[in-house]
Structure 1
Amino acid sequence: MTLQTIILAAGMGSRLGRSLPKPLTELNDGRSIMQQQHDNIHAAFGDDVRITTIVGYRAETIIEAFPDVNYVHNERYDQTNTSKSLLRGLAATGRSGVLWMNGDVVFDPRILGRAIALIERDQSFVTVNTAKVSDEEVKYTVDAEGYIKELSKTVKGGIGEAVGINYISSRDKQAFMRQLQRVDDQDYFERGLELAIVENGLLLEPMDISDLYAVEVDFAEDLERANLFV
């Protein structure tokens, strides 16, 4: 079965202070953030992988740069957060499991190679980094079995950070979508995962990539750090 992937790229990314959508930000190696994502996806999963990009702010600039992928528009990009953008994308990908990522993540291509075994098992997971725990980032805790228990920016006593690359299995997808419908427009998609854990028994595995790099580019200093790796 063809792997379904989603890139969330609807937001304005105003904190980086650039006029173009953040995924089009150029890296030191001449590629955009989104181009390195495409390259990493194809390196791990081949040319048959299906990429669906959620666009909103200045959508035409992303579509022009990457005309050969599928697009879903979030016309309310300036009023909603990643929960609603992801919901639109999941609705466009049928019944299969879906790998998704935030459109501003610069990451080691080996991360997706590490994810293949979990995807082949159709096991829902969140990619995590246990090397640091910052107040501004999405943090997590685990239950006695080692599955994700809490997942948000407000988690207390977090044991690591989520890095914005995730997978929802085919069996968990519908429950997750129902929770994404319920959450507030300004909620991140992590809120839907938390609700699915509590109410639907979602078993969400943390996939540790602490030995590899993954940088979510929100500010200029993040971009500087990402450029140290590419």
Structure 2
Amino acid sequence: MSTQIVILAAGMGSRLGRTLPKPLTPLSDGRTIMQQQFDNIHHAFGNAAGVTIVVGYKLEHIIESFPEASFVYNEEYDQTNTSKSLLRALRASQSGGVLWMNGDVVYDPRVLDRAVGLIAREQSFVTVNTSKVSDEEVKYTTGAEGYIEQLSKQVRGGLGEAVGINYIAAHDKAALVRRLQQVDDQDYFERGLELAIAHDAVLVEPLDISDLYAVEIDFAEDLERANHFV
């Protein structure tokens, strides 16, 4: 089965101050954030790779820009966070694992090259950057065997930051779906992962991409930084 890929793009992205959905923000090379993601996906998985986009805010603009994609609608995009968008996508997915990413991450195409090996052996993972640990970002810790133990913005003594590109293996997906159903509407999807790790013995590997660029676009300064790379 080919890799199932999901882009979470339902949110309003109000902090960036744009009228269109944030994934349609243009970069300095002429592409949008989401087009850069599609190019990276095609680089790693081929032009026939299927992509499902979770849409909500001004969804018609994203649908018009990427008509080749499949779409899942989060009708509560203004009341829920990424946990519920991912839940909708996983429910709509076929059997097998799912690679997903936040729709506002600009990243080096080699990130997915590095992920291919873990996907091939059905290992759930979260991409991480260990070069910086900001209080405002989702952070992580690991247990004795090196798998992720804690994963949230509240983590103390974090080893690094979660980048926003992740994979749930086929044998772990049902557990993640159950936990995403349980978390609060305003929780990030990382809360569902954290619960699946704690209560369902799901093993999630940190995939270190600290030597590659990956920028989550929340503010104008993030966009400026991303434009230095593309």
Q: TM-score, normalised by structure 1?
A: 0.99
| 1:70-103 deviation line (CA, Å, top 9, x unaligned) | 0000010000000000000011111210000000
Name the structure 2 match of 1:51: 51
Name the structure 1 match of 2:38: 38
1:62-141 aligned at under 5 Å gives the runs: 62-141=62-141
4+ long deviations beyond 3 Å: none
Distance 1:51 1:6 in 2: 6
Name the structure 1 match of 2:176: 176
| 1:9-52 deviation line (CA, Å, top 9, x unaligned) | 00000000010000000000000000000000010001232100
Matched, 1:185 2:148: no
Distance 1:170 1:42 in 2: 22
Secondary structure class of the residue paired with 1:226: helix
Q: How much does 1:196 deviate? A: 0.2
Distance 2:101 2:130 in 1: 19
Q: How much does 1:218 deviate? A: 0.2
Secondary structure class of the residue paired with 1:172: helix
Identical pairs, percent: 72
Distance 1:116 1:65 in 2: 27
Letter in 2 for 1:49: A
Name the structure 2 match of 1:203: 203
CA contact (8 A) 1:83 1:183 kept: yes
Name the structure 1 match of 2:26: 26
Distance 1:145 1:208 in 2: 16
1:3-14 aligned at under 5 Å gives the runs: 3-14=3-14
Distance 1:196 1:89 in 2: 17
| 1:161-180 deviation line (CA, Å, top 9, x unaligned) | 00000000000000000000
Q: What's the RMSD between the two structures over aligned residues?
A: 0.5
Count of residue correspondences: 230
